[in-house]
Amino acid sequence: MNGENMSIKALCITSHSDRPEAETLVGLQKKGVEIDIIAHPGGFNNLIYEDSGVPLTTHTIKSRFDLAAIKLIRNKLAAGNYDILHVFNNKALSNALIAAIGFPVKIVAYRGIVGNVSFFDPASWMTWLNPRINKIICVAEAIRQHFLQMHFLGVKMNPQRFVTIHKGHKLSWYQNPCNNLTKFNIPDDAFVVGCIANIRPRKGIHVLIEAASYIPEDSNIHFLLIGNMDSNSLKKQIERSPFSKHFHLTGFRKNAPAIIGGCDLSVLPALKREGLPKVVIESMAYGVPAIVTDSGGSPELIEPGKSGLVVPPGDAKAIADAIMSLYTDREKCRQMGAEAKKRINTEFNNRMTIEKTFELYQELDGKQ
């Protein structure tokens, strides 16, 4: 600790910060925390740090054991007298834990997905199971609960190590939806169901395509798939669908949130391990209601029947029924969209993320 009248100093190690993460760190600086950042030189939001005057060192962490990264972090810790070492990804965490040996700094780790941690995996002991970590920030309560349910030979995880802090957004980031989707060969009068994802099996895109087979063929519903979905098996599945001409693939798009903002409805058909899906938050922030599966933290975003709909994972028929319920009741769809936007503004806003993270820093530094 730097003393009662001195600010908290935090060294934060990330890679490609998304905007909520970058804005949170800048917000902490505005609250008086002395923030110093190590990030990938190609970080998408490095300009946010630079424009805000946050000290930034760029470095590519190449592996879980990167001598150059360890040396850089140790040099920073030795020179900076930091109170907090806040780490945002696996590679950074394993290197930071080694680099912090011999320093009294408190270590905070960020966890963004459910699962993929095991008592039988040596890599997990180099990261999430390492007793040197003081706090693990879970982006969703589902992640915290997963950790608490883990046990080995009767030994359970210490609940005091885990805290849920949702990664908040600002509505001001989502002001210009792409209202003209005809460039994707979608009819102007179509009811558009958007989905931002990639072709990883756990994202469940194949389930969404299957869901189309349960929708009446005379429905004017079109599916807009946004993201890297260049898969032969996926394309063949679409070709076999009775709705094949109603599927439109955009490929990777930098303006994916604005595109989903131009849709009538969004769907995330994930099968497992979701954290707090940013694509759903982006949709809701634009006033577009979402259908999500009961997977990981997705349901935490939704008030079922009010600001969105929740269906079982892998249930194509349930997805189709949910889509049809809003297709046939456009007023209900619009009302849900308005409630979704309100929910992001009140329950998942960036101000709350900054405040809760600041309180955690104070707790660890003994200033609360």
Indicate the pTM of the whole model.
0.93
In the chain, the domains with their CATH numbers are: 9-168+349-365 (3.40.50.2000), 171-347 (3.40.50.2000)
Question: How does pLDDT run across 139-171, given as a tens digit for each residue?
Answer: 999 999 999 999 888 888 999 999 999 999 999
Given a cut of 50, is residue 5 above it in pLDDT?
A: no
- DSSP string spanning 88-129? -SHHHHHHHHHHTTT---EEEEEE-SS----TT-HHHHTTTT
136 DSSP β-pair partners: 109, 162
Contact 298, 190 (CB under 8 A): no
Question: How does pLDDT run across 72-98, given as a tens digit for each residue?
Answer: 999 999 999 999 999 999 999 999 999
324: region left, alpha or beta (phi > 0 left; psi from -120 to 50 alpha): alpha
Q: Which residue from 222, 264, 259, 273 is spatially nearest to 243, judged by alpha carbons? A: 222
CB contact burial 61-93 (16+ within 10 A = b; e otherwise): beebebeebbebbbebbeebebbbbbbbbbbbb
- The C-alpha atoms of residue 303 and residue 319 are separated, in whole angstroms, by 17
Of 201-205, 236-240, 364-368, which gets the smallest average pLDDT? 364-368
Contact 354, 174 (CB under 8 A): no
CA 13 to chain centre: 17
- The C-alpha atoms of residue 124 and residue 222 are separated, in whole angstroms, by 43
- The C-alpha atoms of residue 155 and residue 136 are separated, in whole angstroms, by 18
